[in-house]
Structure 1
């Protein structure tokens, strides 16, 4: 039974900030009507979020836990401490807090399999979001996959460039990028495919030359090593898989839809640039279109996406020039905690409507034919016409509990993550002392107490999603705090947003105007669908 959560450990400053930002709507509208005041308030609010925890560089990385320092026979460190290698070797993932071997020692925590009950739905009932469409979880999976990339063979490492760099579209390396390029007019390799109604749309080329034999098209040899999930797909799915930037880009139709949207926008930008700058060669067209697209996506992330998450009346916005002298403005280094904060499997409905019919989420995995048949506009609009599900415990689809949630618990223990309470303290929240301070739901309190015994024993991953959600927000407080800290401090440091780079000279006057006039995913979609006179509804908001 849901009751009122005990807010005595929320922290006075946190309460005041939330109270002020979620009330006085008229005052906030007045503030936002004055450009100079708006910029100052925006800077103050963003800094207040980012400075909640110590800024980069982080003192620790996953190197501490590795068996050997790379390319040597030197045994792993036994204590967590800072080294030159841990500060600079970004093939290892960073971390905000040092390992806690005591918490994660054998026998101190519940059995992993016993924790499945915390993620499975109660009585099989799905709790839907009251704020977000299905575009929200699709977008989150797609854009975070470009920088939260744990190595499949060594979870202490990552394959990321530590930037929002659209590697899912362009590849992680120059070699991969070259395999995807047409080297004509700056464009990526493409093909036209017909929807069910016979209208043609633009897509990437197919990856497999002989799907039945699993033979990759020669022009994409060495693009990436397909993951096992892809290799196991039947030929009727394999034949429609696209050649895109990363190995999991075909995983689900939402991911493919957003990747294809960016792919089309890149090629559209090339046409715009070529018509305005006829003396530009293929290389300049490609590189400038790529820069413009990345700047657009960064803008959408920091404005449309982030403002969808927050319950605030003040709308945060990207203002790169305001932050270059801040102490947090340092090179990016993704932390393992950020990876756990973005494991939002509970946000994806187990069944959804596809072409008006109830469809199990499993049917949309590695199934690009579903996307091709509908086309970008229709699939996007149908996606945005239905709710996603509530982020939190007791709401993960059954097929994902064993595949994603329990492995996350195991991984957290292997990486010796500190406790939920330790991370609350790091992020400027008082440590909780009672289960009622985490959730007002008596069932949540009962299960946490039954499994963990004491609040100090609750693991980071479980605690993140055990918290009650905030009013008019998509995510609980600690999740929101960590996202605000990491997202802004690592998006605003993107090289393209440097004041001496973020200008007309870099993007061209035409590109600069496109960036200024592109504010939403809807803007991107509606200029990248076949002309029909229809404007498709595209939104994160229900």
Structure 2
């Protein structure tokens, strides 16, 4: 690069005025004769050009005007070499294909530098490529960086601040609402009376249920979201006392005082069955129950984080610390556990919102698709796509959306009755007309009735027990009833009359905020403005009422308009909750803004912050329920009431009878239990020898509980497996299998097989590292040796160097048998049971199908089978097993179905993980080194 006297780089180019006006101080080396001649000619030409110049009269200082001479495209083309053309072609191809990740082993960056450096100095092409290269380097790093270290940024602040590090108050609690649409049009000089608006286009005369049978639970979830985002300050209505983020503030609070009020300050735990926002107690019981479920989930997470102690993040303070240092260390540990548990719990909250909730909103729950509208989807270089939308930049909710989320028309008949009873409880019988004065009187009575201490608050007639918790039976009964109740339908004239003063207040609030009208709001989101009142609602009575109230569609206010609008007709997929037209469009934009703008759900949502276990605990799997994870919350909160496959837990946002139709239509109904939840006995862990001996010997009173899991995996034949019961049939099956396994020579044969196999595996799996020979003795020897054993015993299609045409590798076959084993014998975690069973059944059916084919071949035409090994009968002590096992079972009178599904597959699944576990527990270390 050339450089001016002031140090500014010129990339090899200097502005030139006259050859005579510049001098070179560098020493020139002697040139060859040819080059010397060319230099003389070139210098003469320059002198000749200089001599023909006119006198320098253009500039005031007597100097010549500087004229830039830029090389053209022809000069650049002449300088291109063959390798440059190849590099250029690769760059163009990558651009056309939209490739964003380079294979640096091809040295493409260095070859690009060679290409650019070889072009004519200061040519347009050279500058363009240089600028592109600089931009690529610049854009590889955020400017300014949005991710920072330290607890101030790692954990959510109580008020939601610091979500955007450069605008720390963006979206924080106790900051003003934003405005989505700039109002431009004129409004009516005299606005319609709010009470007249309610009575003519809002009021419900007869209940209309949601056309898709969406249950009350979906509206309870919406209630939590609404209270999470909006809390208008009574003294200053322009201020929002909640943050603009879905940070589960109804549970955790929006101030440090509220947050601390629900903490125990020990082990990161929350006070039992408590939540911070007392407003939610004034809602139907299902809403507080959902928050209690999150409370319990938080405590479950905090307990497991402490037990796992990943990376020693939550270690207990050392005993040698001074009292002051120990106290500080305990407080830090409690804070770490609490804040991390909050991040994890909020992760489940947002996953339920984006998967379960949104799938129901757009009716994806009725089709067999894993596609979902997840605003967190990554874009940009790291995932090989164009970077179309920013993320983690913050958010501020608007006044318009404060009104858009008032979905009172969706209250069920049951909840309508509950609100009426709630007012009666606060004000007594015959409290008079329901108006603003009555509502304010009720609010004051409500405030006075709710205890300041969260652990002393009650709701719905439920009482706390000595441990501070509510009765699970009562909570589940209320929850199940709510799941069975269809909510109301969107659209005009379906708001319960008990909500009249609240709706009037909403109309008045919109006027105080001077919000844009319905048509202005629609145009902002790219929707066509309504030209007639019939466009707003085709119901003649609603259209006429709006006509008499507003005279012209442009004068219709935002809130009355979105409530009175016509609802959409259900569409599969597309329209699920059947909202009004404007709402169906704008809530999706708001959902994307809320989530994509939240740093804690996008750029900072990762296993490093949530821990590996925490991230996985709340993560969704599109192969399970198309990603829906509501069941995790239900089964963690009420493990003794909901079965692992209860439709009430998996799909609570639609009433069970409708779910039966949906799941039958997509051929998934057989995976679920549709019975109402009911209490089940608590599992008791027996650890004493005498107690275990007593139970095992009393087969009439205490029976094995593995039959259900076996039948799920193997079908009815699984119930006849020798370990699935204590009947005479099962005893006979054990005798039959024992006879085939344990013949006269089995002990020496097994010993010889394991000696040979272990020696071989140690040789194959060992590797040199840091000068030592090492091996993972559990994974690569213990697990694999037993896998080889059952493959030989039962003629399983194991892929090895000796049998390269096998179907399953060593690790694959081991994992299949291990998941079968866990599903049958250790399926004790309700929240993990459903995905475990689905995955185990899938692999069991695949392996069982191959075994069944080979058993038929062996017993019909004497062929050993497909994809299995052919052991040498002279060298392999177990060579006569395998196909002889199938023949022996057939000779004992078993059908092919029983041979496969009640003998071979369950026996293999029971043997391998159990024996491998013994090896792992007796090995001195996981890795053996020499």
Shorter-chain TM range is 0.5 to 0.7
| 1:430 counterpart SS class | coil
CA contact (8 A) 2:183 2:520 kept: no
Who is 2:634 aligned against? 525
Structure 2 unaligned segments of length 5 or more: list them: 1-166, 317-332, 381-386, 424-445, 447-457, 463-469, 622-627, 656-930
Distance 1:520 1:130 in 2: 24
Distance 2:290 2:478 in 1: 11
Residue 96 in structure 1 maps to residue 180 in structure 2? yes
Distance 2:618 2:171 in 1: 33
Who is 2:485 aligned against? 386
Cα displacement (A) at 1:311: 4.0
CA contact (8 A) 1:186 1:285 kept: yes
CA contact (8 A) 2:201 2:546 kept: no
Q: When the two structures are aligned, how many residues end up with a matched partner?
A: 398
Matches within 5 A, 1:74-93: 91-93=175-177
Who is 2:394 aligned against? 331
Residue of 591, 608, 621 corresponding to 1:505:
608
Judged with a 3 Å threshold, the aligned counterparts in structure 2 of structure 1 residues 437 and 517 are, in CA distance, closer, same or farther, namely closer
Who is 1:147 aligned against? 229
Who is 1:127 aligned against? 208
Cα displacement (A) at 1:485: 0.7
Residue of 551, 564, 583 corresponding to 1:479:
583
Larger of the two Rg values belongs to structure = 2
Residue 288 in structure 1 maps to residue 340 in structure 2? yes
Who is 1:26 aligned against? none
| 1:296 counterpart SS class | helix
Who is 1:276 aligned against? 308
Distance 2:518 2:225 in 1: 26
CA contact (8 A) 2:202 2:564 kept: no
Who is 1:515 aligned against? 618
Judged with a 3 Å threshold, the aligned counterparts in structure 2 of structure 1 residues 319 and 465 are, in CA distance, closer, same or farther, namely closer
Residue 162 in structure 1 maps to residue 260 in structure 2? no
Who is 2:197 aligned against? 115
Judged with a 3 Å threshold, the aligned counterparts in structure 2 of structure 1 residues 145 and 87 are, in CA distance, closer, same or farther, namely closer
| 1:288 counterpart SS class | helix
Structure 1 unaligned segments of length 5 or more: list them: 1-83, 191-202, 205-243, 353-357
Residue of 400, 407, 410 corresponding to 1:344:
407
Cα displacement (A) at 1:497: 2.3
CA contact (8 A) 1:311 1:471 kept: no
Who is 1:362 aligned against? 420
Distance 2:170 2:617 in 1: 38
Who is 2:30 aligned against? none
Structure with the bigger percentage of helix: 2
Cα displacement (A) at 1:88: 8.9
CA contact (8 A) 1:340 1:461 kept: yes
Distance 1:173 1:87 in 2: 16
Residue of 500, 511, 514 corresponding to 1:401:
500
Distance 1:532 1:301 in 2: 23
Distance 1:91 1:127 in 2: 38
Distance 1:350 1:523 in 2: 29
Q: TM-score with structure 2 length normalisation?
A: 0.41
Distance 2:545 2:503 in 1: 17
Who is 1:39 aligned against? none
Judged with a 3 Å threshold, the aligned counterparts in structure 2 of structure 1 residues 94 and 323 are, in CA distance, closer, same or farther, namely farther
Residues 372-381 or 285-294, more deviating: 372-381
Distance 1:385 1:294 in 2: 27
Task: Please give the per-residue CA displacement for 1:132-185, whole angstroms capped at 9, x wherever unaligned.
Answer: 101111111112211112112211111122111111111112332223211111
Q: How large is the RMSD of aligned CA atoms in angstroms? A: 2.7
Residue of 168, 177, 182 corresponding to 2:259:
177
Residue 540 in structure 1 maps to residue 653 in structure 2? yes
| 1:524 counterpart SS class | helix
Judged with a 3 Å threshold, the aligned counterparts in structure 2 of structure 1 residues 478 and 130 are, in CA distance, closer, same or farther, namely same
Who is 2:282 aligned against? 251
Judged with a 3 Å threshold, the aligned counterparts in structure 2 of structure 1 residues 422 and 328 are, in CA distance, closer, same or farther, namely farther
Distance 2:288 2:620 in 1: 25
By relative contact order (CA 8 Å, sep 6+), the higher-ranking structure is 1
Q: TM-score with structure 1 length normalisation?
A: 0.68
CA contact (8 A) 1:104 1:413 kept: no
Judged with a 3 Å threshold, the aligned counterparts in structure 2 of structure 1 residues 517 and 427 are, in CA distance, closer, same or farther, namely closer
CA contact (8 A) 1:349 1:361 kept: no
CA contact (8 A) 1:133 1:388 kept: yes
Judged with a 3 Å threshold, the aligned counterparts in structure 2 of structure 1 residues 116 and 182 are, in CA distance, closer, same or farther, namely same
Residue of 267, 285, 305 corresponding to 2:357:
305
Judged with a 3 Å threshold, the aligned counterparts in structure 2 of structure 1 residues 247 and 527 are, in CA distance, closer, same or farther, namely closer
Cα displacement (A) at 1:97: 1.8
CA contact (8 A) 1:119 1:401 kept: no
Cα displacement (A) at 1:320: 2.5
